Chain A
Amino acid sequence: MTKKAFLAAVLIVLMAPFASAQASGGATDKTVAITNARIIPVVGAEIAKGTIVIRNGLIAAVGADVAVPAGAEVFDAAGLTAYPGMIDGYSSLGLVEISGVAATADGRETGRINPQVRSLEAIRYDSMHIPIARSNGITAAVVAPSGGVIAGVSCLLRLDGWTNREMAVKPAVAMHIELPGLRAGRGGFGGGRGAAPTRVEAPALLAELKQLFAAARAYEKRRDAAAKNKLLALPGFDETSEALLPLIKGEMPAMISVHSERDIRAAIQFVREEGLKAVFYGVEQGFKAADELAKAGIPVIFGSLYDSPPVWEDGYDALYRNPGILAKAGVKIAFSSSSASVAKDLPYHAAKAAAFGLDKAEALRAVTINTARILGVDKTMGSLEQGKAANIVLADGDILELRANIKKVYIDGRETDLSNRYTELLEKFDKR
């Protein structure tokens, strides 16, 4: 071995643990059978003891009487419970690394109207936060831009892969619209650095959005007419209108951050009038408009439950009981971490709601299949069913429990590396 080759080999060996900790994406044609697991498919009944067969990245079979195919690699999961990978309904994973260091934060564009920005294009695919979330059983996450009135377009990432594009399950999930928060100084009005501190109320913002949408429709009409008729003047390129068109046409849903009871009602009306597909985010006073939300058929993704009730008179437990009340009213609900650094906490928001009235099974659905349905990806993820992507978590207990440990995580059939920044640093300094 030449000196150069030797150095290269040493370098590869040294770098290997770091590289593998970041991502372990890549195709696998291995057939894997997970046997003797307790299986919680989320859709369908629990299987006390069964087998899951993974082939070509998909769940080829799941059930109590499934035979292990010849040549399959077998993992005996006795004592473990299999769950579908959890999906974070709203996060800043890959956009924000160290929130207080502007150089590492890409989640919030300046200005108020930014439909043209797309979170996927800024994803730091080797973010230190992604392996931490993954090792706690989260296998996919919405990554949302924030700030301003129109914050931009979110994406849905699988939490494994070597590039941002490789990780994209859905490059464009929703257009994010932010209505004012319940507390002064919080919420989406004119956010970003150097923004004016004046509070603009939701009705004024919704009126402004209606004008923007009308302008976009008019722009499209002129643009399309000019395309057909060469005698007409070609309108100048309008970035905002171009970016808004998929939303207006219903090809892309709006995810509207909305918080107060009054604004929730106003937003429901806005969605109806504009004929939008919509998901509401936050919805802290949703429990006061639960029936309206259910009637409108608008699903809800909650923000972090690790927050104070924004309106004291709503009661100390308002955020905690809100999910249970909405679920009971028939609203489709999902949870989110609303974070990057503690995206791993997603299951505990669901458990917190369960401690305050939400049915435990619904709490689990609200981090798996509900989220998949809301995001329109339930054909491929969100439950352990034949034909779906093999996003599987094996835990030594209930995955919503703080006391449970995650033992294995499969994403698209690949067993992922559970090491991360936490484990690397601990290992390093434990050698002291």
Chain B
Amino acid sequence: MRNAALPRFAVFALIAAAGLLPVFADGGDILIKNATILTVTKGVIPKGDILVVDGIIKEIGGTIAAPPGVRVVDAAGRFVLPGIIDSHTHIALAGTNEGSEAITPEADVGTVVNADDTAILTALSGGVTMVHTMHGSANPIGGPNVVLKTKWGRPSEDLVVKEALPTLKFALGENVKQSGRTVQPGQTQRYPATRMGANAIIRREFAKARNYMAQWDRYDQAAKAKNPPRTLVPPRKDLRLEVLAEVLRGERVARVHSYQATETLEFMELAKEFGFKIQCFEHIWEGYKIADEMAAAGIGISVFADSWAYKMEAAEGIAGMAGYCHNRGVLVSINSDSGERIRRLFNDAAKTMKYGGLSEEEALKLVTINPAIQLGVDRIVGSLEAGKQGDIAIFSEHPMSAYTRCDMTIIEGDVYFDREALVKEREQAEAEAAKKAAAPRDKGGVS
């Protein structure tokens, strides 16, 4: 964290003083009027209203009368879109990588959610309302990830989206083989140090998990028998293998950090061999080389728009990738992987128009409904439809324009980011400071 030198409460106090705390006194009701509404799944309403009641979108359409007591936001000339969803980031966590061992599926980032990470505010300032915040990529098998709403100011348990699909982080390539790391004298190189090893260690762990499940099956069967053997003892509980067993039973899906075509195809072979589900490949810069395989397997991708050439395996990461894969039938989302880039995901999505030939409507999907599908929450968020949760962003211009700006971010009908209010407070503070500076010094006399 940037403010590591300051105790956390001090950061919080500073932010409170700066007037950045959210206004969540609306009780989940809000009416936005006169906006261009980009519903994402139901077309564009050139000028219309949208009403949220008790956190749920109640009505979208022409002119909606304000129910008594409901806050009304006039968005004339502005654009309303579903809250942006980041399918891959690491914000709001007190720890990211349990990198001391190669296999750590028990290390669940959901247990270290940090609701006062200021990156949540940064995300809100870019219209982001939901994030899939993940274990890092230091290990072939990392840990479970967690889906959060960016409800700044609320306790961490309120942020967790329980409806989301449980996921487990895997990683391949340069990070897990630690090719960027210098082994210090006295240290040994961690296994795996090659892509062969990375694949082998994952296979080994799944084989162990399968065997572990068989041990329990056998025990359960025996225990159920009429006369169970007196020597019957249950297998030893293994928290690592329990998580992998969830993956093998289809209760948890794989999210796999990968870059190169070969390692990705080989991971798909592993999934076939063991019968588990890959939900998404992450970054997957060589995805355009194997788009057909991914499309056929129904595997999505969560990628950068154009951040590339930072390491060898990203040297063929072309900006046309996301659009190309989208056109080949792969479910694509644009992710941030960053507490900064998260506030300009809409800019990144727009790049797929230039480099992938996508339309404005298609490009917007890559940061709204597509990540919602990937996270298994498209029934509740990702588009503006009656019955879905009222997660909404208001932009000054079309979100795919380079000149646009997020003006307001709303989660379940509550306003969490309001640029106009922030600017007003800043101007007041500046005016007060100027007045103070101009005032004659108090010399201790009678005033």
Known interface pairs A313-B14, A315-B426, A405-B354; A306-B402 also in contact (CB < 8 Å): no
Complex CA gap A400/B402 in Å reads 7
Is A3 at the interface (CB under 8 A from chain B)? no
Complex CA gap A401/B354 in Å reads 10
| Residue of A with least CB distance to B318 | A422
Task: Judge whether A403 and B121 touch: CB under 8 Å.
Answer: no
Within 8 A of B (CB), among A382-410: 400-405
Selected contact of A98 from candidates B122, B309, B320, CB within 8 Å: B309
B328 to A: closest C-beta gap in Å:
10
Among A308, A342, A356, A402, chain B packs the most CB atoms within 10 A around the CB of: A402
Is B226 at the interface (CB under 8 A from chain A)? no
Task: Judge whether A401 and B309 touch: CB under 8 Å.
Answer: no
Known interface pairs A129-B309, A316-B125, A426-B288; A402-B15 also in contact (CB < 8 Å): no
Complex CA gap A33/B319 in Å reads 33
Which of chain A's residues have a CB closer than 8 A to the CB of B292? 432
Task: Judge whether B396 and A355 touch: CB under 8 Å.
Answer: yes
Task: Judge whether A426 and B403 touch: CB under 8 Å.
Answer: no
Jot down 17 A-B pairs with beta carbons below 8 A, ordered by A.
A307-B340, A308-B2, A308-B339, A312-B14, A315-B18, A315-B426, A316-B20, A348-B402, A352-B402, A401-B403, A402-B351, A402-B402, A403-B402, A405-B354, A422-B318, A422-B320, A429-B289
Complex CA gap A313/B354 in Å reads 36
Contact code string B344-361 (vs A, CB < 8 Å = 1, else 0):
100100110111000010
B305 to A: closest C-beta gap in Å:
10
Within 8 A of B (CB), among A324-358: 340-342, 344-345, 347-348, 351-352, 354-356
Task: Judge whether A342 and B306 touch: CB under 8 Å.
Answer: yes
Within 8 A of A (CB), among B368-389: none
Task: Judge whether A100 and B340 touch: CB under 8 Å.
Answer: no
Interface size on B, residues (CB 8 A): 52
Task: Judge whether B308 and A341 touch: CB under 8 Å.
Answer: yes
Which of chain B's residues have a CB closer than 8 A to the CB of A101? 311-312
Contact code string B396-419 (vs A, CB < 8 Å = 1, else 0):
110011111100000000000000
B445 to A: closest C-beta gap in Å:
32
Contact code string B297-326 (vs A, CB < 8 Å = 1, else 0):
000000000111111101110111000100
Is A421 at the interface (CB under 8 A from chain B)? yes
Is B341 at the interface (CB under 8 A from chain A)? yes
Complex CA gap A150/B14 in Å reads 36
Within 8 A of B (CB), among A417-432: 421-423, 425-426, 429-430, 432
Is A99 at the interface (CB under 8 A from chain B)? yes
Complex CA gap A97/B355 in Å reads 21
A368 to B: closest C-beta gap in Å:
16
B273 to A: closest C-beta gap in Å:
25
Is A4 at the interface (CB under 8 A from chain B)? no
Q: How many A-B residue pairs have CB under 8 A?
A: 113
Task: Judge whether A403 and B401 touch: CB under 8 Å.
Answer: yes
| Residue of A with least CB distance to B4 | A184
| Residue of B with least CB distance to A428 | B289
Q: How large is the interface on A (under 10, 10 to 19, 20 to 34, 35 or more residues)?
A: 35 or more
Selected contact of A312 from candidates B3, B5, B311, B341, CB within 8 Å: B3
Complex CA gap A58/B258 in Å reads 48
| Residue of A with least CB distance to B119 | A308
| Residue of A with least CB distance to B338 | A308
Known interface pairs A100-B180, A426-B324; A403-B354 also in contact (CB < 8 Å): yes
Which of chain B's residues have a CB closer than 8 A to the CB of A230? none
Selected contact of B340 from candidates A97, A308, A315, A403, CB within 8 Å: A308
Is B279 at the interface (CB under 8 A from chain A)? no
Is B118 at the interface (CB under 8 A from chain A)? yes
Is B421 at the interface (CB under 8 A from chain A)? no
Within 8 A of A (CB), among B40-92: none
Which of chain B's residues have a CB closer than 8 A to the CB of A356? 405
Which of chain A's residues have a CB closer than 8 A to the CB of B404? 355
Is A183 at the interface (CB under 8 A from chain B)? yes
Q: A341-B308, A355-B402, A429-B289 are in contact. List 8 more A-B contacts (CB 8 A).
A: A308-B122, A341-B309, A402-B354, A403-B354, A421-B316, A421-B318, A426-B318, A426-B320
Contact code string A96-137 (vs B, CB < 8 Å = 1, else 0):
011111000000000000000000000000001100000000
B127 to A: closest C-beta gap in Å:
13
Complex CA gap A403/B401 in Å reads 7
| Residue of B with least CB distance to A406 | B354
Complex CA gap A352/B340 in Å reads 14
Task: Judge whether B125 and A97 touch: CB under 8 Å.
Answer: no
Is B422 at the interface (CB under 8 A from chain A)? yes
Complex CA gap A296/B347 in Å reads 35
A98 to B: closest C-beta gap in Å:
5
B154 to A: closest C-beta gap in Å:
19
| Residue of B with least CB distance to A129 | B309
Which of chain A's residues have a CB closer than 8 A to the CB of B306? 342, 344-345
Complex CA gap A98/B324 in Å reads 23
Selected contact of B400 from candidates A183, A340, A360, A403, CB within 8 Å: A403
Task: Judge whether A402 and B350 touch: CB under 8 Å.
Answer: yes
| Residue of A with least CB distance to B417 | A316
Among A129, A342, A401, A403, chain B packs the most CB atoms within 10 A around the CB of: A403
Complex CA gap A351/B344 in Å reads 13
Known interface pairs A348-B347, A402-B350, A403-B400; A341-B2 also in contact (CB < 8 Å): no
Known interface pairs A316-B125, A355-B396; A425-B318 also in contact (CB < 8 Å): yes
A419 to B: closest C-beta gap in Å:
12
